[in-house]
């Protein structure tokens, strides 16, 4: 949840106003400083006057649906693509640049960087226990209503499955599905997160050799993607159907799923997944 102080400070900086200019004719500069540090809650009258100078309504400070412009906007955009590609070398590079910038960050952005750090700890540095502990601590600090909570919980679930903590994984997955049932999936970030959770579950089932269940979950998720008119995670889902369906589908059906995945990889320029598809097609031809 973004606090009043964070929204207040972020909007002032966005408009390029100093604390002195914002306070002029309204209040003491020290009061602005105290508001932004969370040490003072302004009266309704004072907040109204300040909101006019900040060119926002009072609703801006209290409506959770109104987001603060993130200083990590570009980093989040790049990191999302690198995470999809599992490109942890480049993710580490841009993460270090962002940390060294030492700019003002909202709590939500700080939590985002903590999430990325945990991912690097697990996959890049192989400090799995540290990564799991970091995410467990992060989740204790974050509102369950926030997007970063959903992302971190999904990542923690994956960590649990990869270290053999199956009961913890399944418990987290159930919680994630319940939380997403309360969300508006017309929001793209929430939609993509939900699809990722379902893909991960299908992948988990396949890893436990529950291929029939994995196939059903993947096919249902593909139909959901079609319903929402999105190609997000569609290529990995098609690959998963091809892999899990090997025992239930004939060779040409499996090939068809791989070919559809290959076409998507070419359209959306995803060379890493494309290499996997080509490998599976070659294995299929040699079978």
pTM: 0.75
Segment 72-101 shows an average pLDDT of: 89
186 membership: H or E segment, kind and range: none
pLDDT digits (tens, 9 = 90+) for 240-269: 999 998 888 999 999 999 999 999 999 988
Segment 124-150 shows an average pLDDT of: 94
pLDDT of amino acid 102: 64
Cβ(60)–Cβ(51) below 8 Å: yes
pLDDT of amino acid 120: 98
Q: How far apart are CA 245 and CA 257, in angstroms?
A: 10
Q: How far apart are CA 116 and CA 76, in angstroms?
A: 10
pLDDT digits (tens, 9 = 90+) for 53-85: 888 877 778 766 555 556 687 898 899 889 988
pLDDT of amino acid 64: 61
Q: How far apart are CA 119 and CA 88, in angstroms?
A: 9
Q: How far apart are CA 56 and CA 205, in angstroms?
A: 48
Q: Could you count the other beta carbons within 10 Å of the beta carbon of residue 214? A: 23
Q: Could you count the other beta carbons within 10 Å of the beta carbon of residue 125? A: 13
pLDDT digits (tens, 9 = 90+) for 179-229: 999 998 988 889 999 999 999 999 999 999 999 999 999 999 999 999 999
Residue of 187, 126, 183, 186 lying closest to 153 (CA atoms):
183
3-state SS track over 207-233: HCCCHHHHHHHHHHHHHHHHHCCCCCC
Percent of the chain whose pLDDT exceeds 90: 62
Token pair recorded at residue 116 = 């990325």
pLDDT digits (tens, 9 = 90+) for 162-185: 999 999 999 999 999 999 999 989
What rounded mean pLDDT belongs to the chain?
A: 90
Q: How far apart are CA 182 and CA 135, in angstroms?
A: 23
């Amino acid at each position: 949840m973004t606090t009043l102080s964070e929204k207040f400070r972020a909007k002032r900086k966005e408009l390029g106003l100093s604390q002195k200019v914002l306070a002029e004719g309204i209040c003491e500069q020290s009061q602005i400083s105290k508001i932004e540090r969370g040490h003072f809650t302004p009266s309704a009258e004072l907040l109204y006057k300040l909101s006019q100078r900040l060119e926002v309504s009072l609703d801006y400070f209290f409506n959770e649906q109104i987001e603060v412009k993130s200083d990590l906007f570009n980093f989040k955009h790049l990191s999302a693509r690198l995470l999809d590609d599992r490109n942890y070398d480049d993710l580490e590079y841009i993460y270090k640049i962002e940390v060294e910038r030492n700019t003002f960050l909202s709590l939500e952005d700080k939590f985002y960087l903590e999430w990325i750090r945990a991912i690097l700890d697990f996959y890049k540095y192989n400090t799995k226990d540290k990564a799991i502990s970091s995410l467990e601590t992060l989740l204790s600090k974050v509102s369950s209503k926030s997007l970063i909570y959903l992302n971190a919980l999904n990542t923690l679930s994956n960590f649990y499955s990869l270290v053999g903590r199956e009961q913890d994984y399944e418990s987290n997955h159930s919680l994630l599905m319940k939380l997403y049932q309360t969300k508006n999936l017309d929001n793209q970030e929430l939609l993509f997160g939900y699809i990722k959770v379902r893909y991960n579950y299908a992948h988990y089932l396949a890893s436990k050799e529950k291929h029939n269940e994995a196939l059903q979950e993947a096919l249902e998720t593909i139909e959901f993607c079609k319903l929402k008119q999105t190609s997000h995670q569609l290529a990995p889902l098609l690959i998963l159907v091809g892999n899990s369906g090997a025992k239930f589908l004939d060779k040409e059906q499996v090939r068809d799923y791989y070919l559809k995945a290959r076409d998507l990889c070419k359209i959306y320029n995803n060379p890493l997944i494309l290499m996997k598809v080509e490998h599976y097609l070659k294995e299929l031809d040699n079978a």
